[in-house]
Amino acid sequence: MFVLIGWTLALSCVFGVFVVHGGNIVIVLQALPFELVTIGGAALGAFVANNQPKVLKATLRSLKTCFKGSKYSKTRYLELMALLFDILQKARKEGLIAIEHDVDAPAESALFQRYPVVGADRHAVEFITDYLRMMVSGNLNAHEIESLMDSEIETHHAEAHAPAAAMTRVAGGLPAFGIVAAVLGVVNTMGSVGQPPAVLGAMIGSALVGTFLGILLSYAIFEPLAGLMEQKADEATKELQCIKTTLLASMQGYAPQVAMEFGRKVLYSTERPSFAELENHVKGKK
């Protein structure tokens, strides 16, 4: 929603001021379809040539999320922390072997079913259950698991940022493609040098629309999209860091209530629940 609002504001200011100052918007609109095909086609071709198929697919999926609100809200984090508390509390009271069924079959686990939002996120559930399984096995210490967690989070971070990096490269190339379109327009104009000045002026104006459009698309459309995709990727990584910190605190012998506090402190301040909010939420679930 805010993406569309930002685009509308940017384009309204650019074209509105142009018209108010006496600009002939008709010339821009007449040249726009041809310049869009030239610049957009060149950018699309370069985008496909520059990225692996998995990055192309990831970029399309990431683009969809840009037009939706963030799923990483305070409500989601409250549910995540309550889930971790229930799991760690059960393991502390009944022993690690008691959560073996929950870890092996989370879809059938009563614990995970109580928290449908987090339970529906395959990646978050896999991250939790994979390391709980290692804790149950008892073959790895906290330092070894932390190193493994860091490696997985780093891999996830790189994969999540690939679409943003691809979009940034497209944004960087658009002004150059705009110049290419403008040069072609000038070449076309030079072939019609015998035409009246009014005709030549209109042709030159149309050619310059290419440069204008490439810069506008780069800095008003694609660069903001790339920045938003990067922010959303960071949010996904932050959730994994919260899970990591909570589980490691538990492995080091802290009680579930204290382990939750470790995990809570990792979250961004805008979505981080307060200590009282988290405690009341957990008590309410119990």
CB 18 within 8 A of CB 25: yes
User: What torsion do the CA atoms of 44, 45, 51, 56 make, to the nearest 10 degrees?
Assistant: 40
Mean pLDDT across the chain: 89
The token duo for 283 is 């008590």
**In the prediction, which pLDDT does 175 show?**
94
The pLDDT of residue 138 is above 80 = no
The pLDDT of residue 285 is above 70 = no
The pLDDT of residue 234 is above 80 = yes
pLDDT, one tens digit per residue, over 19-35 is: 898 888 887 888 888 88
Crossing angle between the packed helical segments 223-251 and 142-190, to the nearest 10 degrees:
180
**In the prediction, which pLDDT does 28 show?**
83
The percent of residues in the chain predicted with pLDDT above 90, rounded, is 55
Would you report the helix, strand and coil content of the chain in percent, each value rounded to 5?
A: 85, 0, 15
- CA 164, CA 148: separation in Å to the nearest integer? 25
Average pLDDT (72-81) is 93
Q: How confident is the model at residue 137 (pLDDT cuts 50, 70, 90)?
A: confident
Average pLDDT (139-163) is 90
pTM score: 0.84
Average pLDDT (70-91) is 92
User: CB-side exposure of 256: number of CA atoms within 13 Å?
Assistant: 16
pLDDT, one tens digit per residue, over 203-213 is: 777 778 889 99
